[in-house]
Amino acid sequence: MLDLATIRQDFPILQRKVNGKPLVYFDNAATSQTPKQVIETIVDYYSRYNANIHRGVHHLSQQATDAYEQARGKIQKHFNANKASEIIFTSGTTHSINLVANGFGALLEEGDEILVSAVEHHSNIVPWQMLCERTGAMLKVIPMTANGALDYEAYDGLCTEKTKLVFCNHISNALGTVNQIETLIEGAHKVGAAILIDGAQAAPHMQIDLRALDVDFYTVSAHKMCGPTGVGILYGKEAWLKKLPPYQGGGEMIAEVTFEKTTYADLPHKFEAGTPNICGGIAFGAAIDYLNALGMKEIADYEQELLVYATRALEGIADLKIYGTTAQKAAVVSFNVGDIHPYDIGSILDKLGVAVRTGHHCAQPIMNYFEIPGTVRASFAFYNTKEEIDVFVDALKRAIQMLS
């Protein structure tokens, strides 16, 4: 059982008011809030041992290097990767995906196919379109069904010897659907394709075991799991990371440089050109410590409780339609009420102190599928409470009254 009173004390931002009302923060799928343990790690870094890493012989540089590499080790352990060198620090999921897409530019040929799921974030569609333009490969879409799941039978038919890469998110940010990635991974490997899973929404809410999943690439953003913005990881199996060419050129990523030829550093440094977000990486490690101290299982169980509670309350509201109704869902509720524009609902909720997301959630293809301009999305985290859901539902009822 989580101790909510103590947990909420860990998050300074949860004590503030917005528009004169206590903040109810239900936009966790966009970014999570930061506990003081992580904030203190950041302050400590800049107060005591801020220095560049991997090059200095001096004390501070060694201290910063040790802390940064320790964080990499924590991340490796948390996600159960084989080696720390399979964890590449990036600026986040978008960067991680672009790194892989860029690398596959050297491995694909005209006529090859890339499969992308219909439930993607824009950051997951555009890099593959750019890759196809560059290589002459073709992009094919794994279709979705009315409840927000993927059509796995159709996927089976789409996987052929032409398939070189499959891409899908683990959990859809717009609908909350937990995709059956084990099925996707098995299907891709059966035809010899690589598969990249975007874990931006999954990593904050469940225990991920990369070794058990046998996935080729997996991406995470720290800011969605209590860490700072501007840092994340790309996990890649060593064999794949060795096959991919470097993404950016610069310091840190080289072994030897002459004007005739440059040789690249070993993993993970081959993909980490330039001075990284040192403090961010260390703070990401602190965020992982924080989550593990609470327990990922406890977090997941409690968030499911919040999801059930909110879904039940919302289902009692006339003309309210929830999008994404699969049995396996993260704590995200995406909905519309009658033909009220989601933006109008969001604006009134904000006046009442409730932060939700409105719009297409960077997933226009999903909105097109449902023929709607967008939704109101409430997304919960382990520091939210049922009392906050009550406040939200009351505020929503007031908004509906004012708008209809």
Ligand X SMILES: *Cc1c(COP(=O)(O)O)cnc(C)c1O
288-307: which residues touch ligand X (CB under 6 A)?
Answer: none
CA 323 from chain centre, in angstroms, equals: 20
Q: Give the residue among 127, 128, 237, 230 at the shortest CA–CA distance from 189.
A: 237
Omega into 276 within 30° of 0, i.e. cis?
no
Here the contacts of 182-189 (C-beta below 8 Å, separation 24 or greater) are 182/213, 183/152, 183/155, 184/150, 184/155, 185/213, 185/214, 185/215, 187/155, 187/156, 187/159, 188/115, 188/159, 188/163, 189/214
State how far the alpha carbon of 66 is from the alpha carbons of 40, 42, 83, 160, in Å: 18, 15, 17, 45
Residue 100 or 340: the one with the smaller Cβ distance to ligand X is: 100
Rounded to whole angstroms, how far apart are CA atoms 313 and 318?
11
**Which helix (H) or strand (E) is 8 found in, with range?**
helix 4-9
* Cβ nearer to ligand X, comparing 205 with 237: 205
Q: What is the CA 190 to chain-centroid distance, rounded? A: 26
Residue 179 binding ligand X, by CB under 6 A = no
Q: How far is the CB of 123 from ligand X (least distance, A)?
A: 5
User: Closer to ligand X at the Cβ: 142 or 393?
Assistant: 142
Considering only residues 89-148, where is the footprint of ligand X by CB under 6 A? 92-94, 121, 123-124
Print the binding letters for residues 200-219 with ligand X: x by CB under 6 A, - otherwise.
xx------------------
Task: Tell me the closest approach of the beta carbon of residue 224 to ligand X, in angstroms.
Answer: 6
Q: Kind and range of the H or E element at 114?
A: strand 113-117
Among 169, 179, 358, 384, binds ligand X (CB under 6 A): 169
Shortest reach from residue 29's CB to ligand X, in Å: 6
Applying CB under 6 A, the span of 42-50, 197-205, 306-314, 389-397 interacting with ligand X comes to 197-205
- Least distance (Å) between residue 303 CB and ligand X: 15
Among 10, 27, 86, 198, binds ligand X (CB under 6 A): 198
The candidate with the shortest Cα–Cα distance to 226, out of 289, 156, 137, is: 289
Nearer to ligand X, 103 or 353 (CB): 103
Is the CB of residue 51 less than 8 Å from the CB of residue 57? no
**Residue 221 CB, nearest distance to ligand X (Å)?**
3
Q: How many binding residues for ligand X (CB under 6 A)? A: 12
Q: Write down the residue that tokens 């996987």 correspond to.
A: 159
Can 362 be counted among the known catalytic residues? Answer: yes
Residues found near ligand X in the complex (CB under 6 A):
92-94, 121, 123-124, 169, 173, 198, 200-201, 221
> Among all residues, which ones are annotated catalytic?
362
